[in-house]
Amino acid sequence: MPESVRPETVKLRDMERDVALAEAQAVYILASEPGYRDDLAALLAAIDEGELDSPDVTTLERVLELALQTGRVRAIYGPGGEQAALRLYRRLPRGSELGASAAAVTGALTALVGRRLDSVRLEATGPGSFALAFSLEGADVSIRLDRQGARLTSLAT
């Protein structure tokens, strides 16, 4: 996936700020590597101000990815906190890239709407990585789903 341009600043909304602050504090407490602790300290200060610049955005992406993938956000803050974290993540570059990859695959698949589904198969290809393959009237499709997003790997009509 191509590297995107980082936004100059990201402004945090109330619930986003609360969840981001609590999660960054939790990671800061456990982090042992001095450089990463410095990054987290800078992130905590930026969250307190309610606005993040590029280095802080990168650190927050890592924190939110961990919290969302492990289910920690939902377990601690409930569905509302999880939704706030997801909204924030989608506004960050990596979250935006994942959304764009899903939209691109959806766009490519619209040409297949209305065709009869003959077969479908989902395979685990590695940790957090899957291949979805299906056959339609006159078309074979393969989609890769992993941490880098969704990619149409083949479309034969």
- C-alpha of 44 from chain center: 21
Within a 10 A sphere around the Cβ of 52, how many other Cβ atoms? 24
More confident residue, 148 or 59: 59
pLDDT tens column, 93-142 = 999 999 999 999 999 899 889 999 999 999 999 988 999 999 999 889 99
More confident residue, 9 or 37: 37
Closest CA to 16 of 100, 98, 80: 80
What's the rounded mean pLDDT across residues 78-104?
95
pLDDT classification of 147: cutoffs 50, 70, 90: confident
Q: Domain residue spans in the chain?
A: 10-91, 110-156
